[in-house]
Structure 1
Amino acid sequence: MQLSPTALVLLGLLMAAWVAVAAGLMIAAGAKTKAAENARKASRRMARMIEEAPAIPLLVRTDGRIEASERLAGWLGLSRLPQYLGDLAGSEGGRGIGAEQLAQLAALVSRTQKTAAPFRMAITPAGSQRSLAVRGTLADPQVAPGGAALLWIFDFSESENELANLRAEASRARADFAALVGLIEAAPMPMWFRGTDARLKLVNRAYVAAVGAESADAAVAAQAELIEAVDGLSAAQIAAQASQRKAPIERIVAATIGGQRRSLRVSDLPLGDDGVAGYAIDIEEMEELSRVFRAWRDAQRDMLDQLPVGVAQFGADRRLSSANQPFRRAFAMRPGASQGLEFERFLREAREAGRTPEVRDFPAWRAERLEWFLADEPVEENWPLSDGTHLRIVAQPMPDGGLVLIAEDRTESLALSATRDTLLRTRTATFDSLFEALAVFAPDGHMQLWNRRFAGAWGLDDEALGGHPSADELVRQIAPLLDRPQQAKGIGEIVRGATLDRKQTAGRVSLADGRTLEIAGVPLPDGNGLLTVLDITASQLAEDALRERNQALEAADEVKTRFLANMSYELRVPLTSIGGFAELLKAGVAGELSEQAREYVAAILESVQKLTDQVENVLDLSQSEAGLLPLSRTRFDVMPFVTRVVRERETAIVSGGLSLDLRGSKALKVDADERQLGRAIGQLLDNAIAATPRGGKILVDLSRKADGLRIVVSDNGKGMTAAELRRALEGLRTGPDGKPERRQGLGIPLARQLVEAHGGTLEIVSRPHEGTFATITLP
């Protein structure tokens, strides 16, 4: 087939176009290949830069998966980076992010993914000192489409430590500065600070008060000086001199403060290149004391000359500085002896005059007396002289190294003391022969003399009085022996009234052993006080018995009247009516009853009987709560008494298949009302019998403890819960209408009231399925 020239031309043009397109495509492919190579190089360079960057990117996708460099695992203390954000807590010995911080981070990431809100937070990996800062934003779609979050994590551990140290140092500096300012401001002495130009910059409140300024700022603004100019130099000029010398300057000057001239010790202290600080100490009192001391010393020497006791003063150089006339006469000092006499020479001249004791080795004796100057406390000696004179010598070392020597002529006082001892022995013998118990107290409260009956009257040992105790010490010894220890204070008041107030007082006290003593304090002419003690137990018992019997009769009459007026009609009449109608029904007055009706009537009669018993309990409980329950106390043996109470319930115990164990000593006695105390114990026994199942055990234990007689009634029954026990103890209470209402059984409340009426206590402890433990404590 032959082609036409036109076709050949077209075919050539087509081939040329295809070659041109192919060449263009090849050129474009080469350019794209070069661009891809450049992109790969840039990507590797960017990845390396990110690896070397101080921040690590963390990409968190919406499903919780994460993408980051393994370097982040090292920062978090993990061996490798997990796939999900929740796994950053790690399980490698407490490494990774803490649970609380991880939960907070997850919440912030979720919020950023939903709202595109950026966030910042700081985290501390567990078990690490590293501090990491996290900045999160919503990732660009080109980085991670689909709402992923991009987190940048920075390590700012060094900055955080440095900031923490700086904060701590700043806090300490602020605290120290505040304390220093507070100390200066609260100082009682005027204090100030001057700048390098010697002008006032800061003053405290004491300075403001001293110069009479309105405030510290006003004092600084006015440059009010506390110290006046001395020798033409002002206080500012003196401070400038101290700053130039770089050494403190201290001086004593006078200043007017509060309208008074005061002596001040002023100090200016240079503070390097910062300025000069100053303070002033008021030494007016010290100067005044110095003047007073000089005047007192002169007056003392004049006074010593008027004393009948010889007094001499030796200085630290052991030379005589002063001696009064009695001292000179006691040691026969020659008229020419003056101040400056050495102590050793004084002793030698006194020995020559026969005014020292006769000793075998005088030099050794004198050397021992020289040690008086170095003694720590006064030394006292008795010097019997050859002419019969007896001197009492007291050597008092002084703080300055000197010695005060006191010589007292006790010749006449010793003779009087011997006569006095004879009189005292005669008085003691007279006291011991008296029927009453007597004791003599000095004005300072110490016991001086007592007879043999005194210790026995109080039940004390003779050794307790051997040390001549004071009235307060005697009261403390007597207090435990009294029936009411608070009465011991009255004994001290009686002694004080006889010795100090000089008036006669009396009183009565009851001892714990049942005795009653009548005591009286009588002032004596010599300033002492006489305490007399008489045992009036017998007469007091008779008087108390008559009084208690009369009170019991009055209380019984009042209770009877109240019962007849308020309770008899309200309780007994309706109860009697119910019982009567029930008996009529039982007797067939209303017609023949069916078997079921007869059971109902029998139940009514049984309830009436129980209610009658409860009425009795209510009446007794009401009287007890009103404080009107009459008690007839007698002293009786406890063991036979409790045995009778138990025997009265023998039938109920045996029929219930119970066992009862009664323990206790037969020597126990108590002062109580047998009937009322028996009812209290009986109520507890009834409750124990009712609460104990067949085969159970009841224990009654009697013992004497330090706080009194203890009666324990316990069982191993069903017990009570705390709420049940509380309701059982409430018993009978007054309702809103003013009438008594029943909260629970009256047995326990009645027993408690009866025990408290005897001055005792009732404690009940109960646990479900374990039993109940009731304890009666009687004084």
Structure 2
Amino acid sequence: MQLNATALALLGLLLAVWVAGAAWMMIAAGGKARKAEATRKAARRMVRMIDESPAIPVIVRVDGRIEASERLAGWLGLSKLPQYLSDLAGAEGGKGISPEQLAELSANVSRTQKTAAPFRMALTPPGSQRSLAVRGVLADPQVSPGGSALLWVFDFSESQNELSRLRSEAARAKGDFAALVGLIEAAPLPMWFRGPDSRLKLVNRAYVAAVGGENAETVVEQQVELVESVDGLTAAQVAGQAAQAKTPVERIVAATINGQRRSLRVSDLPLGEEGVAGYAVDIEEMEEQARAFRAFREAQRDMLDQLSVGVAQFGADRRLLSANQPFRRIFAMRPGAVEGIEFERLLRETREAGRTPEVRDFPAWRAERADWFLADEAVEEAWPLSDGTHLRIVAQPMPDGGLVLIAEDRTESLALSATRDTLLRTRTATFDSLFEALAVFAPDGHIQLWNRRFAAAWGLDQADIDGHPTADELIERIAPNLSKPKQAKAIGDVVRGATLDRRQTGGRVSLADGRTLEIAGVPLPDGNGLLTVLDITDSQNAEDALRERAQALEAADEVKTRFLANMSYEFRVPLTSISGFAELLEAGVAGELSPQAREYVGAILEAVHRLTDQVENVLDLSQSEAGLLPLAREKLDLLPFVTQVVREREAAIVDGGLSLDLRGGGTSKVEADPRQLGRAIGHLLDNAIAATPKGGKILVDLSRKKDGVRIVVSDNGRGMSKDELRRAVEGLRTGADGKPERRQGLGIPLARQLVEAHGGTLDIVSRRGEGTFATIHLP
């Protein structure tokens, strides 16, 4: 039982082991089957992938046999794939590959089989557009043992076409790049290229010349910049900013080129990740032209502002481009009005300001003025304004579609024209109303203007002048009316002198009817000549009469002179004789005289002295009035001289109980006749002594003034009224009956005559009860 149990246990154990082994074998078989199935699927998938792949594997054995997909035959244009490599040549109507390509392929395959060296080549079947690439390597022994060659054939027809196109484009681009490089090198403006780091990599010859470098390599190596730093940014930093912003940067900077400061327009153009290209255009001449244009424009505007005519320019868009100050003033434009206002709006605003004519339909009127922009020629209008202003408007269309509007204020010119017409009419009326005969001759000799008296003065008819004859023709007509026809030449000389020689001449002519005409030629400012003719017949007769009277007066003056000389002799000789005989009697020559006789002789001498003084006064006064008073001038020291004159009248002053105050400041010297000046001062002193009561005072004051010497003789006597002073100054005058009338003594008139003979003046002021104030002014 125990054996059986053990046997059963062993049997069970054996069965279990067997079952387990069977199960393991079944499981292993299932795994292998699954692996085989997976392998088959993978193989089918691999074969399918190889069939669908763009490359076809070809096994070329040592004997030349080939193993490949039938697709290769289709690529080569063959109906089926041949067994040997040598059969790939054109055996079917020139299809396959060419013998040359086959020979090259065979040589490459043989070399690979022997040396295991890979190769590459391209095949192009004849008559086909397909391009095949062949890559050959020694086949792995697991793939094909025995030294076979594995060829991978690729169809790169599209790639080849693309590659050909790219090559063509590359060649063209290379040529274009070479041409561009040559163009850049030959460009007259500096050009450069910067890398991504903003450093110079390429510059052209113009850049090298601009920075004064030796060559491009040196300039690039030394990083010589053409443009200086601006606002703290270098040219490289500006290029970096352009690259970061991926936006071209253009700026105008100044640079020194060949020792000259030039204005450059510098452009930095980002080229993606490649870098930044740049170029510089010299705009110095353009800037100079721009500055000159701006200066010209400013000068033109300043010049237009100085004109009295308003000028405005409108663009093709009918907007105001510019307007000078007279235009703004004429149309009352607002001070803050900016340029750019439309033409129609300007007309509306000027209408509101009352600077356009009053019209019934303003919109239609404005539309008509807007058509000025389309006119073929200039349009001119007259605008009368409500305030009396008259404007002359000229609209000149411009070739660019714009318009130049010119406004001229003709108010003043019209007023001047009216005034001129009035003046012309006034001149004509004035000419005709003058007593003189007038005529105006042009430089060519024709008579232009004349008054009504001109023809009558020469004895001509009005028809002789209406045709505006020349001066020669007019003289021919005048000559028969002259008393001496040869005087006609003198008239022509006067006209010629006024018109051509531009000098004033004159003369006199006598007419046959006895009249005398005085003619004068006067050059006028406008180039014409004025001939004036005045009938001086009456004045000539009066002149002759005056000449005869002057001759008579000269003869009377000579008689007067001789009379004064005779009277001087006739008066002085008897008085001298009487005085001499009286002095002899007084001296006792005729015997001793009794006291009464002596008294008579003294009275005779006193009367003789007084009569002598009066005769001297009368003669001096007569000679002074006749201008014949002789003066013996000499330099006098005035104070001692006047003191001597006062001393001579000391007795009379003392006898009259008067006091005399003589004043004299400084030294005063004058050129005068001592005798005559002493007599003048003495007469004033005598009058003062005679007019001053006892206890009175007389003042004699001498002073030097800027214009000469002043001598004052004043008293506080009884004085004179205005009538008394007038009679005292006039002295002896002729009355209404022609007889001499004695009014006062001759002292004051004689003193005045003597002072005036010295070139001085005598002023006398007197009031009744206050005294008399006499002032002598001597130069």
Report TM bin, short chain.
Answer: 0.3 to 0.5
TM-score (normalised: structure 1): 0.34
The structure number with the bigger radius of gyration is 2
